[in-house]
């Protein structure tokens, strides 16, 4: 009996494996032996991304997404690629301008393939609903040769100015998600500016969260982005109708690829719930509180 338990566990994982399960549209390519080993045993001796993509394959996809050309346009031709894929929960792709050191970092993505269950009922989905997702734990694009300035201020969490290649990075993740046969790409943005950038391709799974986000974006549209994002991070956002402070709403943003997830985000029911939440909320930044927060922060 004890010998069968690992087998049953592995079989359950195998039936969840997107490349071994039925999908919609064009069938994904059959899994490699290394991919099955990665999925079932969490082993990755060839250091392939998700057990599938080797360094050559990654470079091909970086080029197809436009990232390599974009970096060359910034003066960084032929960046150094580094893969660190031993941990299934932390699959890393890094590009460096020359030597692989943090001060020469151009691009870093820390990813995971995981099952996602909604934390509460959303539309047709319950906590029992299950989606195979490409999860973004960390995504950064940075220009090691650039400096912050008045015209290009530091955004919260930034170490260096960005490269302006987010669309290309999202194209790369979209290509991975299609090849891996997942339902979508998932992120939980911890800053307003991150959610705003991602909103080019992502929507909050909860339509009420999407409506609240759009209301915030609408009402701070006249404020410089770095200032608005920092004020929101400092807890200075206020519901105009109640004067109650608002915390930044941490929730799942998704780029839906296929299936029920994509249909829901495109449905009339989603749009109606989003629009109700958008119309119901007006926000303002409490600038007096923000000045107090800044003074306290600088005094530390």
Q: Percent of the chain at pLDDT above 90?
A: 79
Q: Helix, strand, or coil here: 114? A: strand
Distances from the Cα of 61 to the Cα of 54, 165, 225, 293, angstroms: 11, 15, 31, 44
**pLDDT tens digit sequence for 211-258:** 999 999 999 999 999 999 999 999 999 999 998 999 888 899 999 999
Do the Cβ atoms of 227 and 192 come closer than 8 Å? no
Q: Does the pLDDT value for residue 191 go beyond 50?
A: yes
pTM for the whole thing? 0.87
Do the Cβ atoms of 184 and 204 come closer than 8 Å? no
Of 183, 215, 141, 176, the residue nearest 52 (C-alpha): 176
Q: Helix, strand, or coil here: 133? A: strand
Average pLDDT along the chain: 89
Residues 102-127 have a mean pLDDT of 95
Tokens (6 digits) for 99: 């030597």
Residues 141-167 have a mean pLDDT of 93
b/e burial code for range 208-217 (CB count within 10 A of at least 16 → b): bbbbbbbbbb
Q: Helix, strand, or coil here: 144? A: coil
Q: Helix, strand, or coil here: 187? A: strand
Q: Which residues contact 246 (CB under 8 A, 6 or more apart)?
A: 237, 238, 239, 283
Do the Cβ atoms of 83 and 188 come closer than 8 Å? no
Query: H or E element: which one contains 170?
Result: helix 166-180
Strand-pairing partners, residue 107, are 95, 141
**pLDDT tens digit sequence for 123-148:** 999 999 999 999 999 999 999 999 99
What is the C-alpha to C-alpha distance for residues 93 and 7, in angstroms, rounded to an integer? 32
What is the C-alpha to C-alpha distance for residues 241 and 283, in angstroms, rounded to an integer? 8
């Amino acid at each position: 009996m004890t010998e069968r338990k690992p087998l049953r566990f592995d079989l359950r994982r195998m039936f969840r494996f997107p490349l071994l399960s039925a999908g919609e549209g064009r069938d994904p390519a059959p899994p490699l032996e290394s991919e099955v080993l990665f999925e079932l045993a969490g082993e990755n001796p060839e250091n392939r991304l998700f057990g599938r993509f080797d360094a050559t394959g990654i470079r091909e996809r970086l080029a197809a997404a436009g990232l390599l050309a974009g970096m060359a346009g910034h003066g960084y031709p032929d960046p150094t690629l580094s893969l660190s894929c031993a941990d299934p929960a932390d699959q890393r792709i890094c590009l460096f301008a020359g030597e692989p050191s943090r001060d020469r970092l151009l691009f870093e993505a820390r990813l995971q393939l995981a099952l996602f269950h909604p934390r509460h009922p959303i539309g047709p989905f319950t906590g029992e609903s299950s989606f195979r997702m490409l999860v973004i734990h960390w995504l950064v694009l940075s220009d090691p040769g650039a400096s912050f300035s008045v015209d290009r201020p530091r955004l919260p969490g930034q170490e260096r100015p960005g490269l302006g290649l987010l669309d290309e990075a999202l194209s790369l993740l979209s290509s991975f998600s299609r090849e891996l046969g997942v339902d979508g790409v998932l992120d939980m943005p911890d800053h307003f500016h991150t959610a705003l950038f991602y909103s080019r391709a992502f929507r909050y799974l909860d339509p009420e969260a999407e409506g609240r986000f759009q209301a915030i974006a609408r009402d701070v549209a006249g404020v410089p982005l770095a200032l608005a994002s920092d004020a929101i991070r400092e807890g200075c956002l206020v519901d105009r109708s109640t004067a109650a402070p608002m915390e930044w709403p941490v929730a799942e943003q998704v780029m839906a690829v296929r299936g029920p997830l994509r249909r829901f985000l495109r449905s009339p029911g989603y749009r109606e719930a989003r629009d109700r939440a958008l119309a119901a909320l007006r926000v303002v930044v409490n600038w007096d509180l923000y000045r107090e927060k800044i003074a306290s922060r600088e005094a530390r």
